[in-house]
């Protein structure tokens, strides 16, 4: 069975838990099998890199780390409020996400 998350790549989310609480960002990548996702410019970690042809100097690189999906809430594009994504089945059987606050359907 295929797992799915309440957010998709490209959605705007707000962090609701952890040290980054209150920050907003765009979802860069989702990992449904681990219930994790990556949000741009949040949960930054430092990684040491050896010198290579691409980066001859090497050094310390900052990049985003995955966070648990339960730590974020989706921001509705219509009402611009953090909301839960409710699942809604259309007449043709297609499942869409709907804003719990304003009721607007979004892709």
Measured distance CA(19)–CA(14) in Å, rounded? 13
In the predicted structure, residue 20 carries a pLDDT above the cut 70: yes
Look at residue 1 in the predicted model and tell me its pLDDT.
65
Query: pLDDT at position 83, please?
Result: 93
pLDDT digits over 27-77, tens only? 999 999 999 999 999 999 999 999 999 999 999 999 999 999 999 999 999
> What distance in Å separates the CA atoms of residue 103 and residue 106, rounded to the nearest whole number?
10
Altogether, the residues listed in the chain come to a count of 107
CA distance 69 to 14: 11
d(CA 101, CA 20): 24
């Amino acid at each position: 069975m295929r797992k799915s998350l309440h957010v998709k790549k490209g959605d705007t989310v707000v962090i609701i838990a952890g040290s980054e609480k209150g920050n907003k960002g765009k979802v860069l990548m989702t990992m449904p099998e681990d219930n994790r996702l990556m949000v741009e410019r949040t949960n930054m970690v430092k990684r040491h890199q050896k010198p290579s042809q691409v980066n001859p100097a090497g050094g310390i690189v900052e990049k985003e780390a995955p966070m648990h999906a339960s730590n974020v809430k989706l921001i509705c594009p219509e009402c611009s409020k953090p909301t839960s994504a409710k699942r809604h089945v259309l007449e043709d059987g297609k499942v869409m996400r709907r804003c719990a606050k304003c009721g607007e359907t979004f892709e």
